[in-house]
Structure 1
């Protein structure tokens, strides 16, 4: 039977009124649900076992199922609560497209998981792709106490690869799985069947199943649950931090950052703080700089940067190869990341913005602040950078890397093996952001070679505050 949109379900079932609500009360405190998700009619059963926070909403469960089975969210879907998906008394919950189309019913983003699954044995149904009709049965296996620091969703088991999109439902999945696997006992017959259906030139590989890999799934789930709505108001970032104690810690940092205080930067201070970037922009000049075949600055420019920017205290060595001279490398790379320079036909050239700002230190100072934290838009790096900037603006005396690691763990980030984020991992995520803070004199080392404690400068606190005040930057 092909799936039927909710708007036609009542008519199909011969119902005059929508079924009564199947939702129960929400739990006062979140717990962890162990849920087994089975793909109906597969033989042997294709399944995934998930541990889920009970206060997740169904729109979030949709994203989690898509990730766990390797779907690409290319089709409509619908949840149903009741004895069976097509049972007359089952209550169906609308996906966003159905809501936009004006169908009547309860939107899935208003329904919490603990409203439809309460006790072990309870079931929920999820249908994906109203053509191939992938019906998933979600069964609550156990209810466990919740560790606030635990991931919101994690895959702890499963069997068989997930079907490819548009492969023709369960029958097509099983045929393709056998046809592309030479070790499958039905391989020869499956190849013959596939050719007879689709012709000699038909290739089943684009519809190949997604191999089951719990580690890969969990990396995606951790990223999924911590995306946060970025860019967005900084205050909303607090909501991503789950343990109340950690929320209070970040709120105290925000209060100490005094984001509503006026930002004043004079020409002399701005000139001093942006001097390394002004030097580099002027060095590139209107003619640009020819790069090495590997895309690095030529040795003469690296030597000049080390000498004229007095970077010798930060690094040992010859200081003539950019790839082996991090102070120069990060200066050039962050200038590119912040839109001041770009590579073009083997040369490093000024962007239109870079051409203007090299003559205006105050405007360049604001440009640098507005492009902090320096990231690739990856949510993990963005959030790490925001935490670091907040701690700097609040003049925190704690270890910056430790503060960032602790709060990333409180948000729910984990390493690939699901162990907590370490201080070294936090430091790696802050590499470019810290490079800018050091180049601008926001953080100053008291020892050689980046040794000894880093000290915050008053002008650096203002710079960090300006960066946070302008977040999120215009895109």
Structure 2
């Protein structure tokens, strides 16, 4: 029900999340989601050794760390001189468990693994000594990180060292009948591999570019599998996810004003909550009087239950890890205390923790609302994209509508509305066109940041 500002009240608009028993069918991606993906790009120097060769062919190559596995496959093919067929198995070990990534064609013939189409190589190889196994046909390679270089002035792939050529692409039983290629000098092997590597790099599609730049978008693509999501693909190029963050202090102060003020209010002494865990009336009154709510604050009541803004503020700072409840008192966490007077740090902290929510449907829908905001999508474009993608993911049995998806994204939507990122017309059907200029940057930072 809208209030006098024309904006619907969150607590009446968003009831308890409905039970969604028809979750999306997906491969298990917890392993990938649990790895820390570097937000920036570094250079990985890798030793690639054909372990089943005789004598073993090997290459030392330098590649960019944001390669998706299909791109990485192309780099290994070029470096080693293989034929470049589109199938591979990449296996990595975490403790006692092995995890395998492969192509759709490999899954179709019965291989067990996860699709690697939107997985960055630095989720698997990020530190010196990290090792994976790469299999192409019958040929097994061991790939090990030799070093990591933060100098990214030249991101072109290169072969730095190596020796020997790979055997013919036949099975072991046919190898005896197929003579090995003529041996090359070591210098020729390295030069030829570098030339093939330079020719192997191809410009990326918007889908691949977005998946490489944004771990959140990559997760969506892994979960959506082969379902078509053309509205999402139309908006992603407009997000400009390859642009680095450039927030300045005046912008950060405006965007984080309410969050910073609340942290300063909690301070070192904390805020004693009511018996039902809400803000006490004097604090609600301070929230009303000291923060800019426009004409959205209705009535003279100072009970939190009558004002969704106070509830949204309390729940948001807690979800963001800035405050916690200790024996009935709301107190700042270490992060909250450090960031209360650091608007730029607070901007990056909040962006890094979006989308908000504990359930997958909250995270998926929240990510899509961030995409819409980063792309400055209209209300019609936003709703069409979010509904189509959430249905492709299988939420709600594939029958979600715009009202459903906004409810599912409530933790993220409420926070964006709280800080003013949506603009005043959001609940009147507006999209991102009336949002402040900084909102796109904030949404883009949220999509690019490692969770």
TM-score by length of 1: 0.48
Structure 1 gaps of 5+ residues are 1-50, 61-96, 103-108, 116-230
Query: May I ask how many residue pairs the two structures share in their alignment?
Result: 254
CA 1:316/1:380 → structure 2, altered by over 3 Å: closer, same or farther?
same
Is 1:436 aligned to 2:415, yes or no? yes
CA apart distance, 1:235: 2.9
Is 1:366 aligned to 2:343, yes or no? no
The residue number in structure 1 matching 2:445 is 466
The residue number in structure 1 matching 2:264 is 282
CA 1:239/1:458 → structure 2, altered by over 3 Å: closer, same or farther?
same
Write the distance in 1 (CA, Å) between the matches of 2:418 and 2:317.
11
Write the distance in 1 (CA, Å) between the matches of 2:302 and 2:282.
7
Q: How does 1:176-215 map to 2 (within 5 A)?
A: none
The residue number in structure 2 matching 1:256 is 238
Q: Any conservation in 2 of the 1:369–1:467 contact (CA below 8 Å)?
A: yes
Say which of 391, 414, 417 aligns to 2:372: 391
The residue number in structure 2 matching 1:453 is 430
Q: Any conservation in 1 of the 2:357–2:363 contact (CA below 8 Å)?
A: yes
Write the distance in 2 (CA, Å) between the matches of 1:244 and 1:101.
30
The residue number in structure 2 matching 1:382 is 363
CA apart distance, 1:265: 0.8
Root-mean-square deviation over aligned CA pairs: 3.4
Specify the SS of the correspondent of 2:355. coil
The residue number in structure 1 matching 2:57 is none
CA 1:424/1:113 → structure 2, altered by over 3 Å: closer, same or farther?
farther
CA 1:419/1:251 → structure 2, altered by over 3 Å: closer, same or farther?
closer
CA apart distance, 1:446: 4.0
Q: Any conservation in 2 of the 1:243–1:410 contact (CA below 8 Å)?
A: no
Q: Any conservation in 1 of the 2:216–2:447 contact (CA below 8 Å)?
A: no
CA apart distance, 1:243: 6.2
Write the distance in 1 (CA, Å) between the matches of 2:240 and 2:255.
21
CA 1:374/1:111 → structure 2, altered by over 3 Å: closer, same or farther?
closer
The residue number in structure 2 matching 1:326 is 308
Write the distance in 2 (CA, Å) between the matches of 1:343 and 1:359.
21
Write the distance in 1 (CA, Å) between the matches of 2:403 and 2:231.
21
Rg larger for: 1
Q: Any conservation in 2 of the 1:238–1:251 contact (CA below 8 Å)?
A: no
CA apart distance, 1:394: 1.2
CA apart distance, 1:324: 2.3
Q: Any conservation in 2 of the 1:240–1:411 contact (CA below 8 Å)?
A: yes
CA apart distance, 1:353: 0.5
Write the distance in 2 (CA, Å) between the matches of 1:261 and 1:420.
35
Q: How does 1:286-435 map to 2 (within 5 A)?
A: 286-311=268-293, 313-376=295-358, 378-399=359-380, 400-414=382-396, 418=397, 420-435=399-414
CA 1:401/1:293 → structure 2, altered by over 3 Å: closer, same or farther?
farther
CA apart distance, 1:234: 2.5
CA-to-partner distance for each residue in 1:152-187, whole Å, 9 max, x for gaps? xxxxxxxxxxxxxxxxxxxxxxxxxxxxxxxxxxxx
CA apart distance, 1:110: 6.2
CA 1:435/1:111 → structure 2, altered by over 3 Å: closer, same or farther?
closer
CA-to-partner distance for each residue in 1:33-90, whole Å, 9 max, x for gaps? xxxxxxxxxxxxxxxxxx9x9x999x99xxxxxxxxxxxxxxxxxxxxxxxxxxxxxx
CA apart distance, 1:409: 0.4
CA apart distance, 1:425: 1.6
The residue number in structure 1 matching 2:217 is 234
CA apart distance, 1:236: 4.8
CA 1:433/1:236 → structure 2, altered by over 3 Å: closer, same or farther?
closer
CA-to-partner distance for each residue in 1:403-428, whole Å, 9 max, x for gaps? 322210022222xxx46112222111
CA apart distance, 1:239: 4.0
Q: Any conservation in 2 of the 1:306–1:312 contact (CA below 8 Å)?
A: no
TM-score by length of 2: 0.51
Is 1:269 aligned to 2:241, yes or no? no
CA apart distance, 1:233: 5.7
Q: Any conservation in 1 of the 2:365–2:386 contact (CA below 8 Å)?
A: yes
